[in-house]
Chains A and B, each alone.
Chain A
Amino acid sequence: MAKINPKFTDELKKYGAFDTNACYNCGHCTAVCSLSTEDDSFPREMVRFSVLGLEENLKTSLKPWLCYYCGECSETCPRQAFPGELMMTLRRWLTAKYDWTKLSGLLYKSLPVSITFFLLVIAAVIGFGSYEKFDTEKIMHLGHYFEMFSIAGVFAFILLPNIIRMWYFTIVKAGVKVKFVTYFTKIWELIVHMFTQKRALGCDDNQLRWFEHLILVIGYLSLLFTTVVLDWFGTESTFIIWLGYAESAVIFIVTFIFMYERVKKSKELARHAHPSDWFFVIWLFLMGLTAFIVRIFIDADLIENNLWMYLIHLTVLVQWALIIVPFGKWTHFLYRSFAMYFDALKKIK
């Protein structure tokens, strides 16, 4: 038995939802959705749970992650209830629910808090620079260490516990019995979806967006590998240097296209962009761009006298690694692929 909580939609609105109550349950959204199936039928069910405020049903559901937001449901909704945006909102809300630190929710709901966090990081980087007396070599060396430790730390203390929480909600609490061995036999699902996002191809006319997204993911992951493992800023290898240039260029070009689309609001998914969506795409753009310029400065022997450029890059990097990756939209990279993995586990009879 589930109790109605009429106040829930007010809470959800803080995460971006619109006139959800306008829904009159016609089910048009579910009918037009090219990803919805008989077993995994959405978005109407999610709209209904939201209207009734059935938080438990929402928390234990993987369906928000199964939507790739083509926006067709919102375009055809006869009541302008924006079911597509509701699914997006639910992903934000779920991200906040999975996060044991509760910081995600705070950042999603309050723009001033987000900005304060970003400003604090700027102050910390400047403080760190002056503490190290703006010694370029030392700062860049420590910056490289920061990359490695932040990856390990964020993963161990934030992302891993949060994924375990997601598993707890959607598998254990949802009452799904999974044999231990199945976790291994189905691991392939996780890897495939993590690196290909092939489900997004199921959306109508989505090939171009899927391709842009795919090369962005590959570019991002390989740049991460190139900087952290191959030490792009410190290497002498011409191949690695050019590889890094190519990867960072891919990132800022694709993110520029994404930003352009969001400004033009040409696609349904871009019409209701939440601050967190903007942060994600802007910071990714800045990451690619600043890394690209820093490497140019290094190659042109300008970096010694222009440490400020590296400090800008470091600021962007720290904001990215400590705010957006653990608590922001970056997590969808994990939750989406784990959702496909857990969904595959659920479907084993």
Chain B
Amino acid sequence: MKSKIGVYICHCGGNISDYVDVNKVREAVKDIEGVEISVDTMFACADSSQKQISDDISKKQLDGLVVASCSPKLHYPTFSAVAERGGLNKYNYVHANIREQVSWAHSDDKIGATEKAIKIVKAAIVRVKESVSLKPIEVKAQKSIAVLGAGVAGMRAAKELADLGIQVYLIEREHFVGGRISQLDYLCGADETGKELVTHLYEKIHEHTNVTLFTGAEVIKKSGSIGNFKIQVKITPRFIKNECNRDELLKAIEVCPVEVDDDFNFNITKRKAIYRNYDSEYPQKPTIDNKNCTRCGECEKVCSSIDFSQKEEILDLTVGSILAATGFDPYQPKEGEFGWGIGNVVTLPQFRRIINMCDDKLIYKGKEIKDIAYIYCVGSRQVDGDNKYCSRYCCTATLYTSILTHKKYKDIHSFHFNRGIRTYGKQEVIYDEASRLGDIFLQSYEYDPPEVTKLNGKTNVKIEDILTSGSEIDVDADLVVLVTGMEPRNDCSIGDVLKIPKGRDRFYNEIHMKLRPVETVIDGVTIAGACQGPKNIMESMNSALSAAAKSYSIVNKGELSLEPIIAKVDKETCVWCGKCAEACPFDAISMIKENGKDIAEINLSVCKGCGMCLPVCESNSIDMDGFTDLEIESMISVLAGS
């Protein structure tokens, strides 16, 4: 029980004192038992007032502090710091809001407002009486970080962390690094191809002793908490020996009789069951696709490097933080969506692969392509579907692709069926270039999308063009390109393992879009790149570096200090009904055996002090530090006037 409490009541320069009789409030509380001093001040937040309060605390040996002023959102941190400067534990300071909750809300009733202010200040006083000093929870942090996904974002983050001296485990599900960017040739606004960019990054992490790369690897289990995550990694074998003969391997690819759709080329070509995606791909070793391999043994006959005896491995790692950069999937159009399936209709990623494969003539299915219709916002900004978001990268990517076709092939005509071109920022010059090359832009509203039909052997695209006062305009295209946006990975099992929450758009969610853009509510898990939402390469890099910095700040000191406002269990009364564990959104509660009895235990570094477990506990065995039942009940009794 605190007995030397300082109470400071702020005028807020008239904001409060114009409606609340501050003197009367001071008079009403000054004689309460335990109140050492009560003062009213013009601006409590002013430097001189802050100094006065901290001096009072140290000189008068105050053991509790109440400041009645504005919203705690604004100045709770200010006065916490004042308390600490005066030598008072900040959890012995209680904030009373008499501006937003009183003077501003009841400017029509000064007497009532003053009465309410008195009650609120009295409640704060009784709460501070019951308050307990708390210390931050210190935990050890492993100086290692798992980066999930070796795309450009993951590799960039890995390199940054390794440079800072952190042990990085770079875990890639595929057998090759590079992710989506390795599927691109020329990149808009860069002198490099996507493959070169990937190679460049790979070389950087490859030479770094601090980075351990796992390919064909997946995190299948996670336990522990910030600073000490224990993850289990499943590594699927490549079936190729470590020391391998390159020429023999190429021969092995040649003789493999199994042909399957090549998903690297978005199924427009075939590949073998033993494959590599392109010559300069890293790691420079083919892999055997276990799902499709028939074990016919043809490859073993010509190649000594094949090793079918390799087994799946499970690896246990301990890391201080996890950085997820698991990327996106391109939207897959539905049958019949903008003519998908009628032939001569491809997606933008497919079209990029086609351009990559055609040198001086653009050929698709044996026919030369001259007139290309691009249909924008396929799978993005949907009216009926769930993907309400804009995929950001596609307008620029499409116009850039169109410019590429003009440069590479002759007599190309491009028709852009769009819903408003969004080549934001510096990318506007791409729009300008395409437009001056003679590209034609047609625009429709979202509820009147263009129609693609097969007419007399030609693929016809029709639109009610709002730029031609809604007239019906159509074009016969040799090829229709559906500009498909980004979607969250279809296989998002990693998110489920890590328990990263997803937004309505099914991408992983950050805590705060603007202020905490790479942290998740799972302490210690950060996100980067397109797994969080559509991004272009530059934006992915920004978030990768930002997430790397955030993850680094968690592990770099080797220990962590956590907020002590958490739930605690009364071991005597707890009978383990399990309801608290069900209610906990953070998985912080588990059952333990103590003295032959099942009871609940709270993981200190996982609990966020949300209080969800408190009301469901039938035996009332859980209390919250900083918001104890005693504090809350005493406040209620004052406010209820008893």
Contact = CB atoms under 8 A, between A and B. Distances in A.
Interface of A: 1-4, 6, 9, 19, 21-22, 24-25, 45, 48-49, 51-52, 54
For A6, A22, A49, the residue with the greatest tally of chain B CB atoms inside 10 Å of its CB is A6
Contacts of B441: 24-25
Contacts, number: 47
A45 B438 CA distance: 17
Interface of B, secondary structure class, is: strand
A179 B467 CA distance: 33
Given A3-B475, A19-B436, A25-B467, 15 more contacts: A1-B473, A2-B473, A2-B474, A3-B476, A4-B440, A6-B415, A9-B438, A21-B437, A21-B438, A22-B436, A24-B435, A45-B468, A45-B469, A48-B468, A54-B468
Given A1-B462, A49-B468, A21 B473 contact: no
A22 B440 contact: no
B26 interface: no
16 contacts: A1-B472, A1-B473, A1-B474, A2-B471, A2-B472, A2-B474, A4-B473, A4-B474, A6-B438, A6-B440, A21-B437, A24-B435, A25-B467, A45-B469, A48-B468, A52-B440
Contacts of B436: 19, 21-22
A2 B473 CA distance: 5
B415 A22 contact: no
A244 B8 CA distance: 105
B489 interface: no
B319 to A, nearest CB: 51
Question: What 3 A-B pairs are tightest by C-beta distance, nearest first?
Answer: A6-B413, A4-B475, A21-B438
A2 B464 CA distance: 10
Contacts of B440: 4, 6, 21, 51-52
Contacts of B467: 25, 48
B439 interface: yes
Contacts of B468: 45, 48-49, 52, 54
Contacts of A24: 435, 441
Given A52-B468, A52-B473, A4 B415 contact: yes
Interface of B: 371, 413, 415, 435-441, 462, 467-469, 471-476
A123 to B, nearest CB: 42
Contacts of A45: 468-469
Nearest to A80: B436
Contacts of A9: 438
Contacts of A4: 415, 440, 473-475
B594 to A, nearest CB: 73
Contacts of A22: 435-436
A51 B443 CA distance: 14
B474 A21 contact: no
Contacts of A3: 473-476
A82 B474 CA distance: 26
B376 to A, nearest CB: 16
Contacts of B472: 1-2
B435 to A, nearest CB: 6
Nearest to B415: A4
A19 to B, nearest CB: 7
Nearest to B467: A25
A6 to B, nearest CB: 4
Contacts of B462: 1
B435 A21 contact: yes
Contacts of B371: 6
A1 to B, nearest CB: 5
Nearest to B461: A4
A306 B545 CA distance: 92
A51 B413 CA distance: 12
Contacts of B471: 2
Contacts of B438: 6, 9, 21
Contacts of A51: 440
Contacts of A25: 441, 467
Contacts of A54: 468, 473
Nearest to B370: A6
B439 A21 contact: yes
Contacts of B435: 21-22, 24
A22 B441 CA distance: 11
Contacts of B415: 4, 6
B448 to A, nearest CB: 15
A19 B433 CA distance: 12
A295 to B, nearest CB: 54
Contacts of A48: 467-468
A9 B468 CA distance: 17
Contacts of B469: 45
A203 to B, nearest CB: 25
